Structure 1
């Protein structure tokens, strides 16, 4: 791919300002014994005790929202859904795989599925190191993600965790 096109698509934003700390209060106690996520001074710290393995069929739904500076109402502008294990085990590289893979050197997350029960963590991950597409202009954003497991050939969904964070990109 043309390097200038790569820069256009995946340029770096210089700074995030947290507007509302990450909220992951809604998690399934059949999967996690505890879960804590903090974002302070652009550093992410994460701890979780996974008590049920994560296997193929675990999906992540990402929803991106934006709002105008003088508004409190967010509007959805992009949604993306993927199978976590397929993405992790796939050799193709995309923006979401790069985001997820960037966490591995800051903790003990597993790079392939299945993910066995264990204590997992991330320490001092700087969100300003994330590669952000340049089409995300300066402004206010909310990211929500829901992780769930498909049951009965996808007819039922078992929520694993739901999280959201609000940031300003400068």
Structure 2
């Protein structure tokens, strides 16, 4: 599972961010059905291009990276206003017996849209 939080900076000093939206998604379900969801497909394929992640599940234990990441044309919705954005992801899975959340990884990316 992955929790996505997207924030926008509302202050001149660019230190205060306000949430625009947040949602949880079954990342493996998403990756295995990328052809159905065009915006998420663009985002995931953009990340996969600059990483050693596989484009499908299951993801095995290991070391993964994202290097020299560049936002590809078409992966940012045209309706987003210019500004400073922060994207935070929390990746986890739930244990089968006790349903306890087990943290896998957290990422934060800051993005400026002109």
TM-score over 0.5 (shorter chain): yes
How many Å apart are 1:134 and its aligned residue?
1.6
Alignment partner of 1:78 is 2:21: yes
Instruction: Report the Cα distance in structure 1 between the residues aligned to 2:89 and 2:56, rounded to whole angstroms.
Output: 20
- Which one has the largest radius of gyration? 1
Number of the residue aligned with 1:152: 96
Q: Which has the higher contact order (CA 8 A, sep 6+)?
A: 1
Structure 1, unaligned runs of 5 or more: 1-58
Alignment partner of 1:61 is 2:3: yes
| Shift in alpha-carbon separation, 1:151–1:120, aligned structure 2, 3 A | same
1:111 match: secondary structure: coil
How many Å apart are 1:143 and its aligned residue?
0.9
Which whole-Å deviations, capped at 9, do the CAs of 1:113-149 have from their partners, x for residues lacking one? Answer: 1122345444433225461112211011111110001
Match of 1:89 among 32, 41, 64: 32
Number of the residue aligned with 2:76: 132
Which whole-Å deviations, capped at 9, do the CAs of 1:36-82 have from their partners, x for residues lacking one? Answer: xxxxxxxxxxxxxxxxxxxxxxx111101112242532111111221
Number of the residue aligned with 2:48: 104
Matched length: 112
Which whole-Å deviations, capped at 9, do the CAs of 1:7-64 have from their partners, x for residues lacking one? Answer: xxxxxxxxxxxxxxxxxxxxxxxxxxxxxxxxxxxxxxxxxxxxxxxxxxxx111101
1:124 match: secondary structure: coil
Number of the residue aligned with 2:112: 168
Q: TM-score normalized by structure 2?
A: 0.79
Would you tell me which structure has more strand in proportion to its own residues? Answer: 1
| Shift in alpha-carbon separation, 1:89–1:65, aligned structure 2, 3 A | same
